[in-house]
Every structure is written in C-alpha cells, then in structure tokens.
Structure 1
Amino acid sequence: MSLQRFSGKKVVITGAAGVFGGWIARAFAAEGASLYLSDIRPEALEQTARRLPGVDIWQHVTDLTDPESAVDLIDSVERDWSSPDIVINNAGIYPYSRLLEQTTEQWNATIDLNLRAPFLLIQGFARLMIARGIQGSFINISSGAASMAGPGMGNYNVSKAGLEMLTRVFSLELAPHSIRVNSVVPGYAPGSEVSVMTDAHTSSMIENTPLKRTSGPDDAPQAILYLSSDAASFITGTTLSVDGGRTARVR
C-alpha cells in the first residue's frame, strides 16, 4: 500500500524519458505527486507519460543544452503551477572521449547539460519557491564519476564533480529559505538510449560493484523519495550513494 507521502506535491523531473527518469517518475506517481516531465525526446516523453495513468502530468520538450529552453521550462512551470515543490535534475549524458582527442563542442555539450542546466534550473525554480514561501527540495543526480576518475571520462568526471559542489553551495545559499539541496549517486543501470553501453561494459560494472548487480527500478528512486520527503527535513548539502558499494573505496 502506498504511503501517498507526496499527495498534493508538484515534482519536476528532467530527463524523464530515460531509464532513471522513468523510474523516478513512477516512484513519485505511486505516492500521489503531480508530475512535470521534461525531456528532449517528445515521443519517448509521451511514452513515459502513458505508463503513468491516473496521474496529473504535464510535459515539456526541453533542450537543456540551450539556456533559452531551460528558461522556457521554468516559465512553463510557473504558468501552470506557480511553483514546484520538488525538482529532480536527472538529465545528463555519458559520452566517451579521451581529452587529447576531445573537441570543444564535445566538452561543452557535456558541461552544458550535466552542470550548467542544473545551475539554471535550481536558480530559476528557487526564485519561484522563495517568492511563494515554499520550503522546497532539489535532488541532483550525480555519479560515482564525481570521485572516480577514468580515461575517456574527463568531461563527465568534471561535470559530476562540479555538480556535487554546486549542490553544496546551493544548499548553503538556500538554507535561509528552508530550501534543501542534495545529490544522489545511483548505481549503474543498463538500457540508456542516449548513452548506449556494451554488454562487456555492463559485465565490468557488475564485477566492480561489491553487491554484484546493477541498479534496479526501486534503488535510487527510493533514496530520492526519502531525501525529498519531510523525513529528511534536516538533511541538506549531502550526497547519498545508492550504488551497491561501488564508490565505498574512494569516499
């Protein structure tokens, strides 16, 4: 039986058409939230929405590498909702490119989506929350790559390390308004259509995860629900790893 902890709450989820985005949307929907789903892929976004019958859902096709599109998402949420209660910055890309061969365009694409977009969305949505006295919550989806460097992952490493620092700084600046900002590090989950991984990569990730499996549909979403809930009202500026112990050796 669902606890319905988020009945009446308004939740924005970026990257909602992806693997993790769909799982996060399902978890919030099961507990009574209204959803504002954002993704760059309209057909996949519509499919995600159709999997959540009986839930109040708004959709926005957003190119978060474009600051104007990010602002349009904020404006659309303000028009439809006045303000969100919870924002999940889940959209991101995981490109493989060694730094010596990497182009400026490849670098910028990763930083723009994985780091600049969360900055713009927290800034814009926090302003809405503050203006309306909402004690909101932001969850940024980070990665073990924030603390585990790897060849061919330089732009991704930097973007996620920056995201965790962004989480900490925003948590301090928004604390006077009782707005909380945290990060979650999910474990590896295969199936992304944006950043496709090989079977060999999946096997390697499982082998290097102490609990010897990939992330399931309830693992990270349940942590996100907790950090977004009143039960975590005294938690801000932290990063919670839900990765089967993969980053335990470096944290």
Structure 2
Amino acid sequence: MMEFAKKRVVITGAAGVLGSWIAEAFAGQGAALCLSDIRSDALEARLAQSSILSSATTIVHATDLTSNDSIQSLVSLVETHWKSPDVVVNNAGIYPSRLLMDMTNEEWHQVLGVNLDAPFQLTKAFSRLMIDTGIKGCFVNMTSLSATRPRVGAAHYAVSKAGLSMLTRAFALELARHEIRVNAVSPGFAPGSHVSLVSEDYVAAMTQTIPLGRTSGPKDAPEAILFLCSERASYITGTTLVVDGGSSAGNYQLPVSKP
C-alpha cells in the first residue's frame, strides 16, 4: 500500500538534484505533485527523464521566489487544482559564494528572499488553505549545517538557514492548534547541482570530512522527509532531522599514526 496515495504535495526547487529526488520519492508512494522551479526548461526535462515523475499526477509552475506575484500565482494554481495541498516541501535554495565585504545589497536580499522570505510566504499562504479546508497537513523546510556553522563566503546563506530553522519552530507553535505540523530536514552534502557546480577534487575533499564516508544519495534526505510527513511522525513538530552522515557531530579527522 502506497503511503501517500491521494496526498497532494508541493515541492519548490523541484528541478534540482535534491528536489527531483524528493519528487520521485513522493511519486513512488502515490502522491500527486505540484513541482515548482524558476527553471521551467529544467523542470520539463526532469519530467521527461523520469518515468516515475512522468507517470505521476503532476502540475508544474515556473516560480520566481523573489516575486510576490509569482508566489501568489503558485498558490492560486494549487488552490484551483486541489483547493489545498496536504504536504509542502520548501526545498528551493540558492548558495552563491561571496565575501561579506564584497557582497552587494542585491545579492544579500536575493539569498534571503529565496531561502527565507519565500518559505515564510508559502507556509503562511498554504497553511491558510489547509485551515480553510480542514486539512491536517505538514510542511518540511530544508535547512543546513550552515545554520549553526557559517563558512567564509556564505554568510548570507548561513543567515538564511539559521532564520529558516527558527521560522520552522515558530510556525510549528502557531499551527499546532490546527494540527498542522512543521519540521525541517538538514541534508548532507549532495554534489550534482547545475546551479552551483563543484569540482571532483572538492567532492573528494568533502567526502573525507563525512564520518560515514560518502556523500548524500537519492534516498537519504527524501526518506527522512517521507517519514516526517507520514502518520508515523504524527506527534513530531518543530524539530530538525539531521541526515548528514555524521558531519554535524563534530570535526572529523582520521587519527594520524605515530612513527
């Protein structure tokens, strides 16, 4: 029996590596999907390449998450088709590299807009639809180890994810009386993004810092999201599930043998 049969799931950033993995995980469990991404061509390509997604009940929306009008267009599309979603995964995120002293106001606001402002607007709008239709839905926000451990060149990203972690907890408190749950998943390093390309040497160096010895794969974060959105997690809200191979446990370095 498919766990999410007849459930309606909205996923932002669905054209990316992690977003497509999440979409396939829900589709494989029978969910109807609304896939959102600013790159409509990449979104259509994902649908064409995936037999699971192409066979699912799917609507798509080219969403500019820095535009209030575009966000409202996405919400209106979902309301027209479904009246309300059951699940919303705020997965979209951008992480350009820029030192603080070189960063423009526009670059700062773009990262905060996509990574923090958009989840605020979408959670507010979609939770209202859930409340109006009596849906006991759930939200999952994609946060990051950067929320607690910033790095040089990514201060705007770290601030946005720290804010998203707090926003997750705040929405969880306020929506609990409606039996709407809000959680977060902090995924591990998953190379393959076409937006922020990394070299093979970088991937190899990052892998050496992960205690379990591998990067995040197609089932790791998506399985955690499926769990949080399932009835098995019906008493879980306001928490962050870390799925990073042990990276957040501490600094990992293999012991150096003494001569």
TM-score by length of 1: 0.97
Partner amino acid, structure 1, of 2:15: A
Deviation at 1:161, TM superposition (A): 0.4
1:215 aligns with 2:216: yes
Alpha-carbon separation, structure 2, partners of 1:140 and 1:25: 14
User: Across the two proteins, how many residue pairs are aligned to each other?
Assistant: 248
1:135 aligns with 2:136: yes
2:198 aligned partner: 197
2:5 aligned partner: 7
1:172 aligned partner: 173
Deviation at 1:68, TM superposition (A): 1.3
Deviation at 1:47, TM superposition (A): 1.7
- Aligned ranges for residues 179-194 of structure 1 at < 5 Å? 179-194=180-195
Alpha-carbon separation, structure 2, partners of 1:44 and 1:184: 24
Alpha-carbon contact 1:185-1:243 (below 8 Å) kept: yes
Alpha-carbon separation, structure 2, partners of 1:116 and 1:186: 20
Q: CA-to-partner distance for each residue in 1:173-219, whole Å, 9 max, x for gaps?
A: 00000000000011111110112222232122211111111000000
Classify the secondary structure of the residue corresponding to 2:248.
Answer: coil
2:21 to 20, 23, 26: 23
Classify the secondary structure of the residue corresponding to 1:23.
Answer: helix
**Any unmatched runs of 5+ in structure 2?**
252-259
1:96 aligned partner: 97
1:46 to 26, 44, 47: 44
**Any unmatched runs of 5+ in structure 1?**
none
- Aligned ranges for residues 94-173 of structure 1 at < 5 Å? 94-173=95-174
1:237 aligned partner: 238
Alpha-carbon contact 1:91-1:113 (below 8 Å) kept: yes
Alpha-carbon contact 1:86-1:138 (below 8 Å) kept: yes
Alpha-carbon separation, structure 2, partners of 1:191 and 1:102: 25
Deviation at 1:94, TM superposition (A): 1.1
Alpha-carbon separation, structure 1, partners of 2:13 and 2:2: 23
TM-score by length of 2: 0.94
Classify the secondary structure of the residue corresponding to 1:181.
Answer: strand
Radius of gyration: which is bigger? 2
Alpha-carbon contact 1:6-1:32 (below 8 Å) kept: yes
1:56 aligns with 2:54: no
